[in-house]
Amino acid sequence: MHISEGILTAPVLAGGTVLTIVGTAIGLKKLDYDRIMTVSLLSATFFVASLIHVPIGPGSVHLLLGGLLGLILGWGAFPAIVVALCLQTIFFQYGGMVVLGVNGCIIAGPAVLCGLLFKSMLSGSKKKQMVAGFLAGFCSIFLSAILMACALYFADSGFLQVAGIVLASHIPIMLIEGLITMFVVTFLLKVQPEILSINN
Amino acid sequence: MSIRLLFLSACLLFIPIQAEAHKIHVFAWVAGDTVTVESSFSGNKPLLHGKIIVKDNTSGAVLLQGIGNTKGIFTFIVPPEARAKKADLLIVVTGSDGHQSEWLVPATEYLLEDSSQVAEQHADTISNAELQLMIKKIVEQELAPIKRRLAENRQDKPDLRDIMAGIGFLLGIAGLVIWMRNRKAKGAATDD
């Protein structure tokens, strides 16, 4: 999910950077600073989750856990993911500093969106909570893959071909992330619902 | 923060330590006048049909390009113009899903191979030249896996130190924010 340097065109890089700056600024403004350690720990979780390589499908994909971050942190997921992406670039040479904006936008954007979309379902029945967890994990990867295909489309030709490859390679990870997010969310709702800002 | 949250986070953090990196791994080695490029993902999964571009590292001019096979292998003969210029070869490998990696083959690597060919031309007798050629081929054959292994070892892979440093940075940033907020709050309290 990390686009490398030297692939994207300048307008895409500029657009991604602007969106990421805006998203991070909103995230920092809306961040509850009393939960800063939760943000930090989830950022660290995202930082290392990308090292879990899933050897299924035609490409090489890894965990992101964006949906989980979105559900727990809301807009706060944006700065948490961007900081972790920055450190991944420094320590693991994933992506690059120039493409940090685009990568941030691709990963953090859907994470926040899914968090905001499915959060309300967490107050419902247990079945609804499980569905919300699964959908948050599944859809965050799905939307990230679509955004990635859009970014690559401007650098390459044939949106459908690029989108097909990106989506096909991410289908296993969509399902895996859906399941992981579902289990983690249901576990948290059982033992520590206040983490998700839900008071059962 | 509760112990449960810390425990859960710790579980999530330490699961992937044995896992591998995710990016295209590229390495290339020279045998005779042929350069072999091997591209793979984590877990030695070959990069299928990766796009390979060979450039002059100084000028950035494209010398040749091609597509890797299903095993992630692409071989090419050092272009005569690169040999004439003694140019370092920059090999750029691009995957279809936005990943790209590079590998540099210094001119000294293939010129070294080239000088052995010159020695071959100056051989006194045909039998000597043939013998040299045979020895050279055998040595190249024997050295190929070692060269591959050496090239593979030159790659940067994330290790435990990198992972722990990254986590440390993130916790440090949180600590810094808490400290700054406490300082601000204390300052406001003193003003009152």
- Cα dihedral A55, A58, A59, A64, rounded to 10, equals -60
Within 145-184 of B, beta carbons closer than 8 Å to A belong to: 156, 158, 162-163, 165-167, 169-171, 173-174, 177-178, 181
Rg of chain A over Cα atoms, rounded to whole angstroms, equals 16
Q: For the domain that residue A114 is a member of, what is the CATH number?
A: 1.10.1760.20
* A87 vs B44: CA distance, rounded Å: 25
Write the pLDDT tens digit of every residue in B83-124. Answer: 888 888 999 988 876 778 888 888 887 876 555 555 555 555
Q: Specify the number of domains making up chain A.
A: 1
For residue B55, give the CATH number of its domain: 2.60.40.730
Residues present in chain A in total: 200
pLDDT above 60 (res B1): no
Q: Is the pLDDT of residue A67 over 80?
A: yes
Amino acid identity, position A182: M
Alpha-carbon distance A127 to nearest alpha carbon in chain B (angstroms) = 22
Assigned domain for A4 exists: no
Q: Does residue B12 form part of some domain?
A: no
| Any A CB within 8 A of B49 CB | no
In a domain, A162, yes or no: yes
CB–CB of B76/B64 below 8 Å? yes
DSSP bridge pairs for B100: B94
CB B23 within 8 A of CB A4: yes
- A91: nearest CB among B95, B96, B158: B158
Asked if B27 is an interface residue toward chain A (Cβ–Cβ < 8 A), one would say no
- Assess if residue B2 is contained within a domain: no
Residues from chain B contacting residue A4 (CB–CB below 8 Å) = 23-24, 98-101
Q: Tell me if B169 is assigned to some domain.
A: no
In a domain, A2, yes or no: no
> What type of residue sits at position A79?
P
More confident residue, A190 or A199: A190
What lies within 8 Å, CB to CB, of A103 at 6+ separation is A1, A2, A3, A16, A85, A95
* B16 → closest Cβ in A7, A49, A148: A49
Asked if residue B78 lies in contact with residue B89, where contact means CB atoms within 8 angstroms, the answer is: yes
Q: What confidence tens digit (pLDDT) does each residue in A76-120 have?
A: 999 999 999 999 888 887 888 889 999 999 999 999 999 999 998
Residue A97 lies in domain: 10-196
Residues of chain A found within 8 Å of residue B162, distances taken between Cβ atoms: 91-92
Pick A196 or B75 by higher pLDDT: B75
Contact call for residues A23 and A16 (beta carbons, < 8 A): no
pLDDT for A24 equals 94
Q: Which range of residues forms the domain containing residue B63?
A: 21-153
Residue B78's nearest CA partner among B47, B108, B120 is B108
State the nearest Cα–Cα gap between A87 and chain B, in angstroms: 6
Q: Quick check: ipTM above 0.90?
A: no
Of the pLDDT bands very low, low, confident and very high (cuts 50, 70, 90), residue B16 is: very low
The verdict on residue A5 lying in a domain is no
Domain count, chain B: 1
For residue A74, give Cα distances in angstroms to A80, A97, A139, B44, B165. Answer: 10, 25, 15, 37, 26
Which tens digits make up the pLDDT trace of A123-182?
A: 888 899 999 999 999 999 999 988 888 888 877 656 677 777 778 878 888 999 999 999
Split at pLDDT 50, 70, 90, the class of B182 is confident
Contact state of B167 with A94 under an 8 Å Cβ cutoff: no
3-state secondary structure of B77: strand
